[in-house]
Each structure stands twice: as C-alpha cells, then as structure tokens.
Structure 1
Amino acid sequence: MTAVITQVKGPAAMKQGADRFPRNAWYVGLWAHELPEGKLVPQTILCEPVVFFRKEDGTAAAILDRCSHRFAPLSMGKLLPGDRVQCPYHGLEFGATGACVKNPHGNCTIPNAAHLRSFPVVEKHGFIWIWMGDRVADPAAIPDYGCLDTSPEEHVTNPGYLKIAAHFELIVDNLLDLSHTTYVHEGILGTAGTVVANIAVEQSGDVVVVSRPSKDAETPGMLKMLSGFERGDQWSTISWYAPSNLILEYGVSKVGEPKEKGTGYFALHLLTPETERSTHYRYSAVRWNVITEGKESNEEIREKIGKLRTFAFAEQDAPIIEAQQRRMDESPTPLNPTLLAIDAGPMRYRRVLDRLLQQEREANEASQELVGDTRKAS
C-alpha cells in the first residue's frame, strides 16, 4: 500500500491561503461553555475578527470585532443591557444585528457607514456554530455530532482545544490519512499491523469517508484499554464534512467477530481556520458499546482517553504538521508532492473543496457583474 502512484503537476497542488477558505459553510466558533453570559469573547475566524456574546435571552450572537469609527476591538469594550456592545474607545454602541444604535457625540446622528456586519450563529451539540458567508445559512447543514447530546457523561471526554500553527488543510490531510498513526502514534493509536490496512474511499454528496480495516492485528494501547483484547480486528472510518469537520469511528472486535460485538469511540475533530497559518482545533471523544464495567472505572478510562488524545495531538501531530508548514513556506519554488496509495482520501476531499471554492468564486463574479450592470443602468 505504499507504492508511489503519481506526482501532482503544477503549483496549485499545495496552494494554501485565505482564498482556500469556503465562506458559505458552518464552522465552530466556540465550545458553548467558552461563551458565558455577560462576556465578550473574541475569536479570529477566516482572517476576520469576530466577537461573540450571549443576548439577554441566552442565545448567542456574533458581530464584527472592529468598530466602524476608529477600528478598535469591540471585545475590549462592555456588554450593556439591551444586547448592546459599547466600543471602548469612543462609546459607540452596536446591537446584535451589527447595527450602530447609539452615537453619543455631536448631534448623535448615526451614519449609514457606522453599521457593522453580523454573522448567523447556532448553538448545537455543545458548540457555537458560525456562518461567515453571504448566502442564506441553513442550520440543517450542520454536521451531526449528536452523540455528544445522548451519551452518559462518563463516556464523553472533556472538551479539548489547541491552536495549531498551520493551514487547516494540512490537519485535514493528517486526519484523512491515518496510516501515520503507526509512526507518529506508535503504541497509542497504531501498531505495525495497522499500516498494511486496505484503504477504501467513498463519497456521498460532499461527504468523503475513508475506511482502514485491519484483521488479526496487535491492538493499539488506546483500544486495548477499552476492550482488553491483545489482538483483534480493528477499523477506523473517518468522515469529512466540508470544509473542515470530521468524525472518526475507531474500534476493535475479537478476531473473526463482527464489528457490532466490538467497542471503541467516536473521535470528533472540528477545525476552524484562524488565519492562513493558524487553525483552531476543538476535539472530544465519545465511547460506544462500552464493555468495561463500573462508573468509577469508566470515568478513569474517560480521563485517560482525554489525556492520551491530547498528548497525541499536541505532542505528536502538531509538531510535525507545524514543521511541515514551515518547510513548505521556506521553499523558494512551488512544491509538487509525490502521491502514494494512502493519499486517496486527502485527494478526494481536495477535489470537493476545490469545486466548492470554484462555485463561490463564480457566484461572487456573477454578483459583481450584476452590481456593475445595475450601476451602468442607473
């Protein structure tokens, strides 16, 4: 499975930047617990400053975190009664829709240019989701992380967060090619027996699914802790939801037994581009078909899963991905990566991503042409 297939042609192969961010899509802005009542919480998303806050009815809101007057961060200001955000510099106030609702200076006239943009937000599955695009936001398009809502507390790891100094696509590449677990996470998430797994790639709409089953292989430490099996039939099936949210089903059963008799967890990965070279990475894990007994024992396992996964991401994945980004940025010429069989998943999702980006570009161009025609007519 490691034979070279082909080589990518042209500099676009590894092109990365803000123009690679689909805007008409749902991104995770925050874990819900990161947005307490009465607080202004800043976050840079797709290179734009956003300030989140809860309205008096408890629902979340998000507006541009840049005052229209002198461009001060509104997140440094105050959240006032009536769902108003007061600028810390000259006291202009903005509502949850982004409209400037108070100018305390002069005759108190509010110029049209004072109004700011607001962003659709939805609180679901323990996340604050945000829509950065200009098309109508459809809450039904939010990926299903419902396992967070229905599982016992002792089966769900604590919410995790990392900031990784790399473009989000490098992290998606890492997750959709889990052959790296044999080398990067040896003994924890992968073993020598899992690298030879057959790879299957499927696509349903814009969802790309990569499966890696392994038969009669040594059980990695994480799954051994959940199952007690020294060897077993293992599988990892990871689904990518455009543009940057993923769910991995990871598990093991006794050799020769069906998957339904095994055990494992759903690994939840939610990536939100901060800038061209930084990504907000939120994660958790939810166990399924738990076969270990006792609440105290399962809570201990829960803590161990959380710590091991954080170690794997922060101490093993992130250093390699960040170093990869630096090497790419240092190259004086465009890089054309050699492709292996293990790259089938990453290449499939990139084709979907490229198509979505192209559709957005074409829609923007058509909109600009329409505006131009309207101006000419007037």
Structure 2
Amino acid sequence: MTSTALLLLVESNTTGTGRQFARYARNLGIEPVLVTADPARYPYVTEDHLRTALTDTSSEAAVLATARELAEQARIAGVTSSSEYYVATAAAIARHLGLPGPDPDAVRACQDKSRQRRLLAAAGVPVPHSVLAQDVEGAVVATADLGHPVVLKPPRGSGSLGVRLCAGVAETADHAAELTSAVVNERGIAVQPGVLVEQYVRGTEYSVEVFGNTAVVVVRKYLGPLPEFVELGHDLPAALDSVGETRLKDCAVRSVRALGLGWGAAHVELRMDGEEIRVMEVNPRLAGGMIPELTHQALGIDLVGAQVQAALGRRPTLIAGPRRGAAIRFLTAEAPGVLADGMTTTAALSAARRVPGVVAAVLYRAPGERVVPAKDFRGRLGHVIAVTDQTSAGLAADEGRQALAAVLDTPAAEKEAVV
C-alpha cells in the first residue's frame, strides 16, 4: 500500500468545476482518481495526467467494488462528485467506507423533484404548486387545476434539460409526450418515468449558495427568452437591499434543513416577486455556471476547495475578504448560423478581453461550427467574466459579451445553408 492518500471523484461535470476538484486535491498532496465509465468524455483527464479507474458508474455496487480495490493499494481519504448525476452515488460510497459526506437518502430525496416539493411544502417552505403526471393525459389533466401557462420538466435532471414553459394544451401534450418517451438521459442513465407539471412563478430569479447551514452569497440570475429557461448570466453579489438578501438567505437555509442536507454545498434557486418568495429547486451540490469561480473572485471564498476539504473530513474556511463584484455572461446564438472564421474569432476574443474589468473570455466551439439557439446549457457557446466594483461588473460582462458576439456575424448565405 502506498503512502499517498486518494480522493475518489465519481464522474465529473463536463464544464466548470470538475477539473478544479482534482487540482485542489493535488495541491493538498492528495492523489485524485476519477472513477468513470468513459474517460474520453473529459479532455482535462489527458491534459492533466489524471489517474482514472474505469467503472460502470451507473451501478453503485460496481463503484463500491472499485473503491474497495483501490483501498487495497492506498488509503482512501474521501469520496465526492462534482456532477449532479453522481452525487448520490458518491455519498453512498462514502457512507459505506465510513468517510465524510451527505446523507445518501437525503440526497436521493432532494434529486426527486416531486418528492423535494412535498418535503419542502410539509416544512412550510413556499414552493410552486406541482403535480407528478405519469403520462400525457395526466399532464393535460394537471393543467386544469394549475392553469396555463405551466412549466414541464423531468422528475430528475440538471442544467434546464427538458424544462419548458407551455402556454396551452397542445404544447403541454407535445412536450409531455417528448419527456415521457425518454428512456435515458444525456449521460445514458435510466430516467425516472413521468413528468412534473408545475405552476409558472413570475419574478426575478436568484440563487443562494449554501455550505452546511451557512448561506454564503446571493446570486442574481439572468435567463434567456421563454419558453426555455437557459441561464445566460449571473451577478454576484446580487444587487439587493439587506432585507431582501436576508429573506432569501433564510429561506434557502430553511430549505436545506427541511431536506435533511446541511453537509457541504447546496445550490438553492428561488424567485422573488415583490414580497413573495418561492423556492424553485434545491440542488445538493455546488452550483454550475461558473458560480463557484465568481464567488472566489468576489468574496475570496473557494467553494470548490471547501467541498474537497469537507470530503476529506477537514473544516473548510468560509470567511469572506473585501467584497468585489463579479459577473458572467454566456454567449448563445439567436438564430441558426455558422461561427466566424479563425481570424474573426481571434479578434472577437481580443476585443472582449480588452473591456475594462473583463478577466476571462472563452469560446467553447471551433470556428466554422454550426450553431442553433440554446434550449439548455449545452447550447451555450462561450462566456465572459468581469470582476470590478459591485455596480459595474455586470455592465462590463455585458460589454464583453457584445464584443464576443462578433463571432456570430456570419454571411447570410452561410446562415441560410444551415439545416
């Protein structure tokens, strides 16, 4: 048995924090091991020379068997995941091995959106009215009580996948048919049958990033055009008065406690319309959308590091430094088209990076690649991050995104050629 301790990472998210989990562990002298069914899914594995353990991660028993094999070679110091789809598996493996982690049953209950709604409502936490329908007919019947428009979504999922606002019966039936016909999700994991039909709640959307039972920060969200709910940007901290911020934080912490979480990170999404607050969703994981990076930039609090520390049984530091403003804006296509050539792309990235306050501008797609309007996070084409004072960060990120959007200015003939 080697003297180097291991941190097992059960799969990873494909963008954002997954790579950071592994790097943070290495900086602590812990060897990260990515337990995965497909290492090729993650380009950073090769780039960072990350050790992998090939495993059927759809099977908790298979992951546990792999963990026990690895434990014969080196001490396992922790087990965690940066992916929504595998946090419950990681929690269960940690529990089997006697290591720190959230309650696996609480995580599973939280990930079942219908059950989550019932638990929150029973605890007096305000949530949208919703009905779990098993088929198209049930979804249509549910709208008779809820009234249109309604939001349809899978009972489990992440990244706004399959979430859609339906204005009438025909749209409801069509989207319900699409959702109920799905057998597996985009990761190839079997999906829970049914469709969640939910009251549409108006208002401004926020998230509260909670760690343990501490509300770390309130984030202002910007969504794309309906009927989809694609997140196009975040401002941090949110521009709220102290009363509004406190009410959102209190509601988020109540939600976490009601669901039996309270270990590590939770990402709580809420809407506020005047005095009314509704909890839209609680996710038993770190936020996506680069929010942990924004939190680090604005407050000096490293949520990725805190999650790794917690998984290793260490007490993380959540003390904020001087407050700055941080904002991100994602680039999406408004119509089908083709990304510009390499020269235009280079110029657009340079122009975005020259905007005062912009600290990062990134494109996820290659020049000449065909693009379509985003229906979920997978349709985002790039991002711009700005860090400055709290009142200017969003404006700088907007300006940087506008500069980056030059990559979408392709000749009309090319746009018309896109099918």
Same-fold status (TM-score > 0.5): no
Q: Which structure has greater strand proportion?
A: 1
Q: Which has the higher contact order (CA 8 A, sep 6+)?
A: 1
TM-score, normalization by structure 2:
0.24
TM-score, normalization by structure 1:
0.26
